[in-house]
Amino acid sequence: MNTPEDSTLNGTKISRRNILKTAGVGGVGVILGASGLGGLLSLKEGKAASSETKEIIPFYDKHQGGITTKTQNHIYFVSLDVTTSKKEELVKLFKDWTKAAALLTEGKAVGPLSSNEFLPPKDTGEAAGLSPSNLTITFGVGPSLFVKDNQDRFGLKQKQSKELVDLPKFPLDALEEAWTGGDICIQACADDLQVAFHAVRNLIRIARGKAALHWAQTGFQRTKQSDPKNETPRNLFGFKDGTANPDVNSEKQMNETVWVQPGDGPNWLVNGSYLVVRRIQMFIEVWDRTNLREQENTFGRYRDSGAPLGQKDEFERLDLEKKNEQGEYSIPVDSHTRQSHGDGSQKILRRAYSYSDGMDMKTGSFDAGLLFLCFQRTPSKQFIPIQNRLAKMDKLNEYTSHRGSAIFACLPGAKQGGFIGETLFN
């Protein structure tokens, strides 16, 4: 009998973990010319045996992974519509997802390869032999899971938090149904896109008959391999993006900014967080025709160093009073940095990824931009006031268009033996 970590290649039963252990290395195996076990693994030399465990982010924890986790190279984000009307089926789905997600984050298959060749294999197989790649899977629930078309779909209405409501319409929003809303979200982040895709694909497969895709978006950052110094990643406008984020290593800051606390609202979300997602198209062709001074004034930061205009260091505290030789504010009044900072009291944890989806058929330009994701404790005091300011005043609006939007409550983490959503459904 195969275990979930077993798989088969060319008819030979193999356990990925065992192969890697036998070979004396961690999860760094690379399949080359898979013509049989003999030629199966080409293993990078000189990696410590512990590298496999280093690439695992435990699924069972107080908080879900993928929120304060150091940003991985890739994201596969999906929004789902629940198609079942039975609460028991929904709860069973979350239980099944929890078990599967725990296996996936350890780099294991979601189920044994069936001994019956007339049945489809339980796991789709494309991650066999790949390292866990720091995969995190984050589940969230949207307002429409609670009430849709005035229907209390699953008897959860009483539990809906007043923060978990559709976002207001902001000036300049150009939202499309195809990229907006959803009953449930799954955010899979990993250092390998195939690993992230495999996770989402198998979770959706498990949901068959209970939930279906509403929209999906991949995203990327520069990889860790190409940036060993681990500098702040750059967005598709070429600017460092993520500089002024709260410190994910400070429990105090995360409790103040990101994690829902007792007394904030319904108890089921304590240790969870609200996620706001915006699919923002960036008009890169227009930007590329814009002179450097204008680009820097748009962000209020230098393109090269990422330092605030008039200042030296990327991480320097903003000096919003500083003026240039012409007597104007060095960081322009309508710049993105000044407008998003406001008086500094509203903070969000940004965890954005660039996206590139081929061509925008309407305009013939690139459909590329930012899958903007931010986590927070209270959207009405964090994302919403910031976005209200930006939508009115931000110079960046000349170069961007918000085409998708959603809000989700990312559930607290699950204990071993428990399941994601337990606090909500029980």
Q: Given the complex with ligand HEM, which of 4 and 181 has the nearer CB atom? A: 181
Look-up of token digits 């489809």: 120
Helices of type H across 43-153: 51-54, 87-105, 143-146
Paired with 36 in beta bridges are: none
Considering only 278, 351, 395, 403, the residue that binds ligand HEM (CB under 6 A) is 278
How far apart CA 52 and CA 42 sit, in angstroms, is 16
Instruction: Specify the DSSP element, H or E, that contains 238.
Output: none
Q: Which is nearer to ligand HEM, 63 or 395 (CB)?
A: 395
Q: Write down the least CB distance from residue 339 to ligand HEM, Å.
A: 9
Q: In the chain, what is the greatest distance between 2 CA atoms, to the nearest angstrom?
A: 78
The tokens of 260 are what? 């829902």
**Of the candidates 160, 295, 387, 423, which one interacts with ligand HEM according to CB under 6 A?**
387
Query: CB of 372: closest distance to ligand HEM in angstroms?
Result: 5
Least distance in angstroms from the C-beta of 383 to ligand HEM? 5
By beta-carbon proximity to ligand HEM, the closer residue of 59 and 237 is 237
Helix ranges (H only) for 77-234 are: 87-105, 143-146, 193-206
> Percent helix, strand and coil across the chain, each rounded to 5?
25, 25, 50
Stretch that binds ligand HEM, among 16-24, 28-36, 263-271, 335-343 (CB under 6 A): 335-343
Work out whether 336 is an interface residue with ligand HEM (CB under 6 A): yes
Pick from 175, 241, 271, 403 the residue near ligand HEM by CB under 6 A.
241
Q: How far apart are CA 316 and CA 379, in angstroms?
A: 27
First vs last C-alpha separation in the chain: 34
Position 244 contacts ligand HEM (CB under 6 A): yes
Only one of the segments 19-27, 121-129, 209-217, 242-250 lies at the binding site for ligand HEM (rule: CB under 6 A); that segment is 242-250
97 binds ligand HEM (CB under 6 A): no
Pairwise CA distance, residues 95 & 307, whole Å: 47
CA distance 36 to 170: 57
The reply on whether position 368 binds ligand HEM by CB under 6 A is no
Part in contact with ligand HEM (CB under 6 A); list of ranges 63-71, 175-183, 194-202, 277-285: 277-285
Which residues of the shown chain bind ligand HEM in the complex (CB under 6 A)?
Answer: 235, 237, 239-244, 278, 280, 282, 299, 301, 318, 336-337, 340-341, 348, 369-370, 372, 383, 386-387, 390, 400
